[in-house]
Chain A
Amino acid sequence: MEAVKGENLVYNEVDEILEKYQDEKTPLLAVLQDVSRKWGYLPRDVMGYVAKKLDLPSAQVWGAATFYSFFETEPVGQYMVRVCKSAPCHVLGALNVVRALEQELGVKVGETTRDGKFTLQATSCLGVCGVAPAMMVNEITYGNLTEERIREVLALYE
């Protein structure tokens, strides 16, 4: 009974999001972004619910959700660390950044720390090539990364 109640609460919140974009012609991405902000990822049943409400095939919703690297389809940690893997960052040492992050956090790319705090993910261009190599923690971007600076940044979230 509790579970069902909880489910309804979730769907009430999704309904609020859907209502916000009800006048949009193509509201899918905006809705997914809000869902993502709320729960940190896109729960499968919520995507199914969104598909039904927007009268879209759920295969298409899944297609959109997996196309964009800023959408997650599995639960993630409290802080999402996204390392840019595009060419300019790569040239300026993105691989070292990844290695340093893996060492500091004790997880590989795609994994979440045991305490549920950090998820490490590689991502497409963040649009800040001028300060490559770069990464984002949730919605804040950090550039000119060195091993030292990575430790400093992570310390902000400890």
Chain B
Amino acid sequence: MAKVAGDIKSEQEQENMVNLLLDEKEIQVPASATVLEACKLAGINIPTLCHMDGLTPYGGCRICLVEIEGQPTLTASCVTPVREGMKIQTSSKKVREARKANLELLLSNHPLDCQLCDRNQSCELQDLAYEFGVRKIRFQGEQQHHEVDLSSPSVKRDLDRCILCGRCIRTCAEIQSVFAIDFANRGFESYISPSLGLPLGESVCINCGQCIHACPTGALSEVEHVEQVWDAINDPEKTVILQTAPAIRVSIGEPFGMPQGTISTGKMVASFRRLGFDYVFDTNFSADLTIIEEGTEFITRLTQGGKLPLITSCSPGWIKFMEHFYPELMENVSTCKSPQQMMGALVKTYFAQKIGVEAKDIVMASIMPCTAKKYECQRDEMKASGYQDVDYTLTTREAARMLREKGINLAEMPEEEFDDPLGISTGAAAVFGATGGVMEAALRTVYEKVTGETLPKLDFMDVRGIDGVKEAIVDVKGTPVRVAVSHGLGNARTLLDKVRAGDVAYHFIEIMACPGGCIGGGGQPIPTNLDVRMKRIEAIYNLDRSLPVRKSHDNPAIQKLYEDFLGEPNGEKAHHLLHTHYSCRDKM
């Protein structure tokens, strides 16, 4: 795996160093660095398209060319290791002309209609064209044309905008281990194709949308629900209700110029209320509810000898991954619906009764950091009220676009509160948005329910952080409860293969499909990279610390919901509304 600059710096002391002459300046860099990494250490960010930190270097786009003395041709810096005494030019006339020519060649087979593109203003190709001063394209030739692939419920593919950098392929394979897509054909006819040349919707794609973050252009984007939500808002017959996921409040500020990692819960609520939603509820409420249901399920399995390890079910990308690749673990997966679906089921039953509106007249929309949620809400089994639990799912990006269209600047909004009663939540729900969060929230409740004692320390540091697989042993009054957490499905595969082989024994496992958890979801603002993920995670934990109630079972609104409506956790009504089942899918 490629190293990021930070890793390299920390290794500088221990490792062999080499001397380079970079643009006439002497520098020292670790001997293991590539020329691209060496330049970065020296403060020069060589432009790239096919290169992405965390993925295998590819050397395909020829944008990162540099001139190395003694080499007959220009060299792709991303795939070239440094050598002692190397003399490198990064902006000679030859380099600048070659980079620009290569960019123009890419552009000659690319639509020049940036205004019509999903990635207008967040496109790396567009940025480079501007930075390189491309004002006209000298090369004119044949252009490839493909139908836009709208077969997936989550990810739209517009291959006319694809530059064949392969970042999506490597992300799908190396980060997610799904291998849903690969190059097909050859030469000018090359294109990126899902399994067996089928449309993406018929492939093993798990809808996580990490390929969207990997895509430098507008070739990949979410399937939009924006128009449907506008239509609902403008329909006087409909009561239109919104829920916002735990990860949105730490990212929705970014498209409005707020610093990454800003908590903007109140402004978010105020903004979407003004957009025209009749009620704005909090998915954090149903995250607390998930903890009660899943915690109860876990305690039952633990004490009465059910199937263990129990594996979390909040991440719909993970669920589809399990259905394709690990169907034998199906009984291990919690039957709990995800918080999004629980909220939808409650809104169209409990809340519908409360306000005297029929479920058919309610439109339930959500803002999710996730593209797989669009697929989850359309699953057949998600109809507790007889109608879809959730009708439409907007990504953070779509939601921000809707606010802009209406002329709402979130950054300048006042702070407002969620609506009652499905808007009250705890710190345990807040951390759902980060990897390890569901586990931590569950442990806070499970410990106290099992022992009847107050948890001495609420923070479970072992399950936090961005290590791919995290483990902890929690002493629940003499019983060691072994837990594991993984994020990014490649890491999940590593963990699950060990579980399947019987090499490790856990009681409880949390899996989130996306690196970093939901804060790094495929629906989050662009850019979403390691640095941005860390800032959003930090915000999540700050939010948890700032809340007066930090355990799901102490949420007064949840307690009242069980008293007034649901009855017992895991009871008959809860099962009907809040639990689901899965199906085996082809591994293809």
Contact = CB atoms under 8 A, between A and B. Distances in A.
B181 A59 contact: yes
Contacts of A62: 182, 184, 193, 195-197
Contact of B587 (A52, A60, A61, A63): A52
Interface string B570-588: 0000000000000000011
A47 interface: yes
A66 B184 contact: yes
Interface in A73-130: 73
A80 B196 CA distance: 23
A67 interface: yes
Interface in B174-218: 179-186, 193-197, 203-204
Please indicate which of the listed interface residues A48, A59, A62, A67 has the most CB atoms of chain B within 10 Å of its own CB.
A59
B197 A73 contact: yes
A60 B588 CA distance: 11
Contacts of A73: 197
The contact size tier of chain A is 10 to 19
A51 B180 CA distance: 13
Nearest to B195: A58
A44 interface: yes
A48 B182 contact: no
A61 B183 contact: no
A70 to B, nearest CB: 12
A7 to B, nearest CB: 15
A44 B179 contact: no
A47 B193 contact: no
The contact size tier of chain B is 10 to 19
A114 B477 CA distance: 79
B185 A61 contact: no
Nearest to A67: B186
Interface in B113-172: none
A27 interface: no
B542 to A, nearest CB: 40
A52 B588 contact: yes
Nearest to A68: B186
B2 to A, nearest CB: 22
B195 A59 contact: yes
Contact of B185 (A44, A52, A66): A66
A63 B193 contact: yes
Contact of B182 (A44, A52, A63): A63
Contacts of A57: 173, 179-180, 182, 195, 204
A133 to B, nearest CB: 20
Contacts of A59: 179-182, 193-196, 203
A67 B203 contact: no
A36 to B, nearest CB: 16
Contacts of A58: 195-196, 204, 588
Nearest to A49: B588
A69 B189 CA distance: 12
B297 to A, nearest CB: 33
A52 B325 CA distance: 11
Nearest to B181: A59
A66 B203 CA distance: 17
A58 B194 CA distance: 8
Nearest to A51: B588
Contacts of B181: 59
Contact of A44 (B196, B203, B204): B196
Contacts of A48: 195-196, 588
B255 to A, nearest CB: 33
Contacts of A44: 196-197
Contacts of A51: 196, 588
A58 B182 CA distance: 9
B146 to A, nearest CB: 14
Contact of B179 (A60, A67, A69): A60
A70 B117 CA distance: 37
A66 B193 contact: yes
Contacts of B203: 59
Contacts of A67: 183-186
A137 B399 CA distance: 58
Contacts of B184: 62-63, 66-67
Contacts of B186: 66-67, 69
A62 B179 CA distance: 12
A25 to B, nearest CB: 19
B588 A66 contact: no
B175 to A, nearest CB: 15
Nearest to B189: A66
Contacts of B587: 52
A48 B185 CA distance: 18
B191 to A, nearest CB: 9
A64 to B, nearest CB: 9
A57 B197 CA distance: 12
A58 B200 CA distance: 12
Please indicate which of the listed interface residues B179, B180, B196, B203 has the most CB atoms of chain A within 10 Å of its own CB.
B196
Nearest to A63: B182
Contacts of B193: 59, 62-63, 66
Interface of B: 173, 179-186, 193-197, 203-204, 587-588
A-B pairs, top 10 by smallest CB distance, nearest first, are A57-B179, A59-B182, A58-B195, A63-B182, A66-B184, A59-B195, A66-B185, A58-B588, A62-B196, A58-B196
Given A59-B195, A67-B186, 14 more contacts: A44-B197, A48-B195, A48-B196, A57-B179, A58-B195, A58-B196, A59-B196, A62-B193, A62-B197, A63-B183, A66-B184, A66-B186, A66-B193, A69-B186
27 contacts: A47-B196, A48-B195, A52-B587, A57-B179, A57-B180, A57-B182, A57-B195, A58-B195, A58-B196, A58-B204, A58-B588, A59-B180, A59-B181, A59-B193, A59-B195, A59-B203, A60-B182, A62-B182, A62-B184, A62-B193, A62-B196, A62-B197, A66-B184, A66-B185, A66-B186, A66-B193, A67-B185
